[in-house]
């Protein structure tokens, strides 16, 4: 623990000049039509979105896609939307998810300013499923749409003070890279596509 | 090697230099559009700057708070005074668990510590899983940019590399095809790894958690599968509260690539069921730099790369010419601040145009710091002769008006009449890549003297 004490002592001895914390209560960006903006952002980041009246319509939308109906392995954790060929909580290791074609998963809320969608592993025992599936479908009620990232953090305030806070991530589009000559390629190591099914509510 | 000498190698290939310059400036333009889409952009920058500066003013308290919360959530926290200690901690964790394959997501800190060669010497396979980092790793190089590690490499070269090492078709250079090959290769590694190591974009004192941002999802895959997650974190990555992330996540990707946010912004607060999670807090010169009031704001950097993208010198000299983990304007401050002897030439690889300061999302006064660093190096007598000798001569000339006039005349005449080889020779660095201006026939004084009576009489008439 000598290193810890040395570092803390050195940090203490070298404190920078005083500066107060700024207020987070500011006038942050909002939108007249957050849903429209959200959908535009989704398109911009390489995702697609569908506006659907209810879960039955979401299910029908999936069943209408031949690439979905013809795939060998699918998983859904959203009641009434899509089907499952495997049970997440029956897997011994998350590695068994490799090769999963489609995952249909619930989203907690979306952020209009950037198209980000907050998901956690609260009810999802292997969080690898968000990243290992070939195609990701997130189901989000339109009532769960926020304007900006400040509202997003207000919404999850206190999270992190629990004893076992869940893993959480903002998903914004399918996985992508532009590391070869700045050419954008969708489908780097993670999912190749992201469909957001917006259920009117 | 000085920056100028190293840059000469890069610009020897004029076509590549042009491509590098234009491609990176295109990223800078995307940043401008993204920034303009947020009406309160300047407020965000100011807020981010204040949060970071506040954190440095009581970093010890926040570090202790961070550690206590992380431990409460089942994370083990380690402290490393320098790169060597960091590497030893990581190796120890891997050895104890018989790990022989480590997958890494982007971490400039482990570059700084030289982790890869250290682990490889101990017989551990290390695979960088960010595509750009994997490409430079396969070429036995270092990233040339903190956000775009392989920006100095052309797709034909990646095609050749993948053909040799991954068995892709000879001559293939299509980015889609090559990325697909890398995807299969990297997913194999991610699935068979015994441990995953990530960097840290932000550590949150209030919750003891960390946030990692990627576009590829490699940090998430690398930590969602293996039974061990190690996060390497520089002390300066700390922010006080969870809601401060609202400010930083709005700034980071927009400044870096012009995206509204990265594809994944993942918040890690506790190990998974059956997993261990360790955070290694690294000082390596950071606490010492905090005490340098002129330069400590460089520790506020969130590594967005915007100052590199906008810098006319960086764009035209390439990241490797800086011979440091972090290149560009921010690198030219932090490297000499830590090791002035080794990096004395970097603060001079700068035209003081100030563009870096304009774009920096946390408002680090980069060009002021670069100027201050030159003074600092001067005080320590670390200026190269090419700078000190002409400065002394100029000082002597400027103090003596008669000498100044004579020298001016000599210059005008000789620039016009001297043969080219005498002006454009290796001793005159100003003669490289540029033609010196055509010398005027008369000096300003002579021209003014001739003009002055005429101008005076014109003025009198108009009165
Ligand atoms: S100094 Fe500022 S602009 Fe440069 S990388 Fe750091 S945060 Fe970005």
Mean pLDDT over B110-115 rounds to: 96
Residues of B136-160 as b/e, b for ≥16 C-beta within 10 angstroms? bbbeeebbbbbbbbbbbbbbebbbb
Which pLDDT belongs to residue B84?
98
Q: Please indicate whether, in this complex, the C-beta atoms of A160 and B151 are within 8 angstroms of each other.
A: no
- Whether B455 shows a pLDDT value over 70: the answer reads no
The partner residue sitting opposite A165, judged by closest CB among B179, B246, B269, is B269
Tell me the CA–centroid distance for residue B366 and ligand 1, in Å: 9
What residues in B contact A18, CB-CB < 8 Å? 57
CATH superfamily of A30-83+96-199: NagB/RpiA/CoA transferase-like (3.40.50.10420)
Which stretches of chain A score pLDDT less than 50? none
Instruction: Give A63's contacts (C-beta < 8 A, 6+ positions apart).
Output: A69
Q: Greater confidence, A197 or B420?
A: A197
Beta strands, E only, B24-96:
76-80
Grouping H, G, I as helix, E, B as strand and the rest as coil, residue B461 is: helix
Which pLDDT belongs to residue B12?
87
Reported ipTM: the value is 0.97
Q: Please indicate whether, in this complex, the C-beta atoms of A17 and B79 are within 8 angstroms of each other.
A: no
Q: Which of B326, B328, B300 is closest to B314 using CA atoms?
A: B328
Using a 6 Å CB cutoff, which residues line ligand 1? Answer: B 255, 301-307, 330, 359-362, 364, 366
Which pLDDT belongs to residue B456?
60
Q: Please indicate whether, in this complex, the C-beta atoms of B245 and A157 are within 8 angstroms of each other.
A: no
Q: Please indicate whether, in this complex, the C-beta atoms of A163 and B72 are within 8 angstroms of each other.
A: yes
Kindly indicate the confidence band of residue B431, based on its pLDDT and cuts at 50, 70 and 90.
low
Alpha-carbon gap, residue B14 to A89, rounded angstroms: 58
The ligand 1 atom nearest the CA atom of B333: 1
Q: Please indicate whether, in this complex, the C-beta atoms of B183 and A191 are within 8 angstroms of each other.
A: no
Mean pLDDT over B272-295 rounds to: 96
- Whether B93 shows a pLDDT value over 70: the answer reads yes
DSSP state letters, A44-68: HTT-EEEEESSHHHHHHHHHT-HHH
Alpha-carbon gap: B103 to the closest alpha carbon of chain A (Å): 13
Question: Over chain B, what is the mean pLDDT?
Answer: 91
Q: Of B263, B265, B272, which to mutate for an interface test with A (greatest number of A Cβ within 10 Å)?
A: B263
Can you give the length of chain B in residues?
Answer: 463
Give the pLDDT confidence of B1-36 residue by residue, as tens digits: 789 888 988 888 899 999 999 999 999 999 999 999
Instruction: Give B278's contacts (C-beta < 8 A, 6+ positions apart).
Output: B75, B76, B77, B78, B93, B228, B229, B230, B231
Instruction: Give A193's contacts (C-beta < 8 A, 6+ positions apart).
Output: A47, A48, A134, A135, A136, A174, A186, A187
Which pLDDT belongs to residue B433?
63
- Whether B387 shows a pLDDT value over 80: the answer reads no
What residues in B contact A112, CB-CB < 8 Å? none
Alpha-carbon gap: A145 to the closest alpha carbon of chain B (Å): 16
Mean pLDDT over B422-439 rounds to: 65
What residues in B contact A93, CB-CB < 8 Å? 225
Which pLDDT belongs to residue A174?
98
The partner residue sitting opposite A169, judged by closest CB among B43, B265, B291, is B265
Mapped to the 3 state alphabet, what secondary structure does B165-177 carry?
HHCCCCCCCCHHH
Kindly indicate the confidence band of residue B379, based on its pLDDT and cuts at 50, 70 and 90.
confident
Which pLDDT belongs to residue B331?
96
Contact B293, B354 (CB under 8 A): no
Q: Which of B7, B1, B33 is closest to B306 using CA atoms?
A: B33
Grouping H, G, I as helix, E, B as strand and the rest as coil, residue B254 is: helix
- Whether B463 shows a pLDDT value over 60: the answer reads no
Q: Which of B85, B133, B293, B307 is closest to A16 using CA atoms?
A: B293
What residues in B contact A16, CB-CB < 8 Å? 53, 56-57, 59, 290, 293, 296
Share of chain B above pLDDT 70, in %: 91
- Whether B107 shows a pLDDT value over 70: the answer reads yes
Alpha-carbon gap: B184 to the closest alpha carbon of chain A (Å): 8
Q: Please indicate whether, in this complex, the C-beta atoms of B131 and A180 are within 8 angstroms of each other.
A: yes
Distance set, CA B101 to CA B98, B124, B197, B287, B288 (Å): 9, 6, 11, 32, 34
Give the pLDDT confidence of B391-410 residue by residue, as tens digits: 777 777 777 777 777 777 77
Give the pLDDT confidence of B185-217 residue by residue, as tens digits: 999 999 999 999 999 999 999 999 999 999 999
Which pLDDT belongs to residue B440?
78
Kindly indicate the confidence band of residue B429, based on its pLDDT and cuts at 50, 70 and 90.
low
Instruction: State the span(s) of chain B assigned CATH 3.40.50.10420.
Output: 38-284
Q: Of A179, A194, A196, which to mutate for an interface test with B (greatest number of B Cβ within 10 Å)?
A: A179
CATH superfamily of B38-284: NagB/RpiA/CoA transferase-like (3.40.50.10420)
Give the pLDDT confidence of B114-165 residue by residue, as tens digits: 999 999 999 999 999 999 999 999 999 999 999 999 999 999 999 999 999 9
Supply the pTM of this predicted model: 0.91
Alpha-carbon gap: B197 to the closest alpha carbon of chain A (Å): 16
Kindly indicate the confidence band of residue B438, based on its pLDDT and cuts at 50, 70 and 90.
confident
Which pLDDT belongs to residue B461?
63
Which pLDDT belongs to residue B332?
95
- Whether B180 shows a pLDDT value over 80: the answer reads yes
């Amino acid at each position: 623990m000598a290193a810890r004490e040395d570092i803390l002592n050195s940090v203490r001895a070298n404190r920078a000049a005083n500066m107060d914390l700024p207020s987070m209560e500011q006038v942050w960006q909002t939108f007249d039509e957050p849903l429209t903006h959200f959908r535009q952002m989704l398109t911009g980041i390489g995702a697609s979105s569908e506006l659907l009246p209810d879960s039955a319509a979401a299910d029908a939308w999936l069943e209408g896609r031949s690439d979905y109906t013809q795939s060998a392995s699918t998983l859904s954790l959203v009641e009434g939307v899509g089907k499952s060929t495997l049970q997440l909580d029956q897997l011994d290791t998350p590695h068994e998810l490799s090769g999963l074609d489609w995952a249909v998963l619930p989203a907690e809320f979306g952020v209009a300013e950037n198209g980000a969608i907050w998901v956690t592993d609260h009810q999802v025992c292997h969080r690898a499923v968000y990243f290992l599936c070939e195609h990701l479908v997130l189901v989000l009620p339109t009532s769960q749409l926020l304007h900006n990232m400040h509202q997003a953090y207000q919404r999850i305030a206190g999270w992190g003070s629990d004893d076992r806070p869940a893993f959480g991530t903002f998903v914004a589009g399918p996985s992508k890279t532009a590391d070869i000559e700045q050419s954008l390629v969708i489908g780097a190591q993670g999912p190749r596509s992201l469909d957001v099914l917006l259920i009117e509510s | 090697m000085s920056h100028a000498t190293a840059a000469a190698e890069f610009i020897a290939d004029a076509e590549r230099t042009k491509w590098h310059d234009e491609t990176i400036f295109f990223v800078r333009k995307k940043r401008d559009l993204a920034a303009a889409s947020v009406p309160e952009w300047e407020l965000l920058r100011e807020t981010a700057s204040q949060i970071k500066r506040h954190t440095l003013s009581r970093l010890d308290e926040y570090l202790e708070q961070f550690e206590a919360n992380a431990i409460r959530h089942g994370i083990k926290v380690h402290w490393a005074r320098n790169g060597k200690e960091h590497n030893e901690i990581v190796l120890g964790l891997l050895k104890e668990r018989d790990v022989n394959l480590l997958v890494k997501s982007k971490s400039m800190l482990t570059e700084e510590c030289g982790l890869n060669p250290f682990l490889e010497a101990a017989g551990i396979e290390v695979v960088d899983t960010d595509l750009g980092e994997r490409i430079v790793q396969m070429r036995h190089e270092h990233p040339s940019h903190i956000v775009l590690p392989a920006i100095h490499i052309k797709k034909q070269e990646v095609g050749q590399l993948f053909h040799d090492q991954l068995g892709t078709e000879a001559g293939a250079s299509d980015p889609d095809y090559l990325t697909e090959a890398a995807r299969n290769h990297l997913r194999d590694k991610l699935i068979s790894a015994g441990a995953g190591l990530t960097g840290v974009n932000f550590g949150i004192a209030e919750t003891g958690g960390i946030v990692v941002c990627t576009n590829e999802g490699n940090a998430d895959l690398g930590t969602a599968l293996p039974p061990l997650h190690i996060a390497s974190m520089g002390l300066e990555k700390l922010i006080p509260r969870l809601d401060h992330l609202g400010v930083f996540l709005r700034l980071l990707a927009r400044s870096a690539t012009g995206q509204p946010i990265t594809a994944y912004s993942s918040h890690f607060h506790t190990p998974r069921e059956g997993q261990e999670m360790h955070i290694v807090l690294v000082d390596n010169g950071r606490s010492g730099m905090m005490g340098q009031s002129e330069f400590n704001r460089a520790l506020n950097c969130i590594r967005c790369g915007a100052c590199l993208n906008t810098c006319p010198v960086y764009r035209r000299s390439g990241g490797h010419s800086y011979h440091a983990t972090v290149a560009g304007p921010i690198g030219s401050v932090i490297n000499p601040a830590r090791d002035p002897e080794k990096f004395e030439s970097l603060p001079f690889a700068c035209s003081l145009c100030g563009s870096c300061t304009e774009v920096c999302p946390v408002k680090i006064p980069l060009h002021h710091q670069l100027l201050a660093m030159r003074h600092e190096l001067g005080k320590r007598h670390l200026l190269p002769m090419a700078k000190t000798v002409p400065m002394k001569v100029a000082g002597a000339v400027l103090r003596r008006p008669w000498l100044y006039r004579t020298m001016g005349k000599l210059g005008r005449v000789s620039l016009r009449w001297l043969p080219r080889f005498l002006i454009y020779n290796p001793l005159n660095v100003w003669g490289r890549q540029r033609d010196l201006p055509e010398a005027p026939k008369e000096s300003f004084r002579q021209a003014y003297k001739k003009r002055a009576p005429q101008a005076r009489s014109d003025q009198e008439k108009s009165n």
